[in-house]
Amino acid sequence: MGQRVLMKGNEALAEAAVRAGCRFFFGYPITPQNEIPEYMSRRLPEVGGTFIQAESELAAINMVYGAAGAGARAMTSSSSPGVSLKQEGISYMAAAELPGVVVNMVRGGPGLGGIQPAQSDYYQATRGGGHGDYRTIVFGPATVQEGVDVMSKAFELADKYRTPVVILGDGMMGQMMEPVSLPEPLELAKLPLKPWATTGAKGRRPNIINSLFLDAEECEKHNLALQAKYDIIQATEQMAEIAFPDSDWFVVAYGTTARICREAIQEARAQGLSVGMVRPITLWPFPVNAFEKVVERAKGFLTVEMSLGQMVDDVRLAVNGRCPVRFFGRTGGMVPSDEEVLAEIEKMVEGRTR
């Protein structure tokens, strides 16, 4: 870990990507993530990399597809409406087993929505997002520092599993200035070789990057192979933080919302309430193991999101009826306040139904 610097979330993520060996960035402007392409447009040429402002998010993600298939660490970033357009390419990358990183600084939706922070793309990110039976690894960092940390991890896992990785931030985290420790830059020469990349069939049989399987039996086989990979990811790559694991009650939140909930939990504990937090860092794989650690003693969970209830489905699946799961959310760019969350915690503890 190198120097500690004060950086805006979006710029810190961009610099972290460069240090993780990303030399190819393809993007299309959209608020609230414009600092990422802007930063990349001046930073990448300094390290011999390439920045392209694409004609659309469709083109940008397909440039990532080509660059990843040619063996490079490549990424794109966008916000909700743009990420909807990228779903075509993400599905193709998952199918063709190409690594790559996609940042989504989520804003209020649906449609054009707004430009204020939201978490309403949780379903899209964690259920694959495009067509077909696939998943992407999804990180939901809560601080700028954690964003920087998961960026390195994102490129590492993308290469390791040959799969696209999504970093789900929100407008607030992108705009926030925080001190961060940046990692030392990775040496490109030390990155793992990619013998499958299309670099020209010199002295070997052609490499083919493909997602077409016209024969149904073959297509099923391919899906089962992908699934086997997802099973390994689910078993080994879950990340979560548990705060106050000995508590009776738990709040579940990720990203910026988790920071607000942390405040509310401090206040609740000051009042003598036994409240802790389960904070997923990987949203897929969903950190069910963390829930297993606390669910037997828990009297109830309160899921808080900047959406009308998406992650709460995964919490219910993890808890599997063993205790009540409540939900509180604001959406469309509205951010829950710590007072609101505290009030919901009190309701939960008192067993009140709204």
Partner 1 sequence: MVDKEFERPKGTEIVYERPKSLTDVVTHYCPGCTHGIAHRLVAEVLDELDARERAVLVAPVGCSVLAYNYFNLDTQQAAHGRAPAVATGIKRVLPDRVVFTYQGDGDLAAIGTAEIVHAAVRGERITVIFINNAIFGMTGGQMAPTTLLGQETTTSPKPTGRLAERAGYPIRVCEMLSQLDGAAYVARGSLSSPQNIAKAKRHIRKAFQAQLEGHGLGIVELLSSCNVGWKMSPVDALKWIDSHMVPVFPLGVFKDWSAAGVEAARLADSGVAAG
Residues that bind partner 1 (CB under 8 A): 24, 26, 50, 52, 54-56, 58-60, 62-72, 74, 88-89, 92, 96, 198-203, 206-212
Query: Least Å distance between CB 194 and partner 1?
Result: 11
When the beta carbons of 210 and 236 are compared against partner 1, the nearer one is 210
Q: Quick check: 108 and 119 in contact, CB under 8 A?
A: no
Helix (H, G, I), strand (E, B) or coil at 122: helix
The minimum distance between CB 212 and partner 1, in angstroms, equals: 6
CB 339 within 8 A of CB 265: no
- Give least dist CB 216 to partner 1, A: 16
Close Cβ partners of 245 (under 8 Å, ≥ 6 residues apart): 276, 293, 294
* Calpha distance 209→215 (Å, rounded): 17
Alpha carbons 348 and 176: distance in angstroms, whole number: 31
Whole-angstrom distance, CA of residue 31 vs CA of residue 50 = 22
| CB contact at 8 A, 187 and 180 | no
Pick from 271, 286, 251: which is nearest to 168 by CA? 286
CA 92/CA 212 separation, integer angstroms: 9
Coil, strand or helix: which one is 48?
Answer: coil
Rounded CA-CA distance 69/159 in Å is: 11
Integer-rounded Cα Rg, in Å, for the chain is: 20
* Smallest distance, partner 1 to C-beta of residue 118, A: 28
User: What's the closest the beta carbon of residue 164 comes to partner 1, in angstroms?
Assistant: 14
211 vs 274 by CB, closer to partner 1 = 211
Name the residue nearer to partner 1 (CB basis): 77 or 282: 77
Closest by alpha carbon to 299, among 318, 322, 279? 322
State the minimum distance, in angstroms, from the CB of residue 178 to partner 1: 32
Q: How far is the CB of 179 from partner 1 (least distance, A)?
A: 34
- Between 51 and 254, whose beta carbon lies closer to partner 1? 51
Distance separating alpha carbons of residues 143 and 268, to the nearest angstrom: 22
CB of 41 to partner 1, least distance (A): 14
- Closer by beta carbon to partner 1, 78 or else 303: 78
3-state SS of 227-269 is: HHHHHHHHHHCCCEEEECCCCCEEEECCHHHHHHHHHHHHHHH
Name which of 28 and 254 has its Cβ closer to partner 1: 28
Of 22 and 275, which has the nearer Cβ to partner 1?
A: 22
**Nearer CB in complex with partner 1: 163/331:** 163
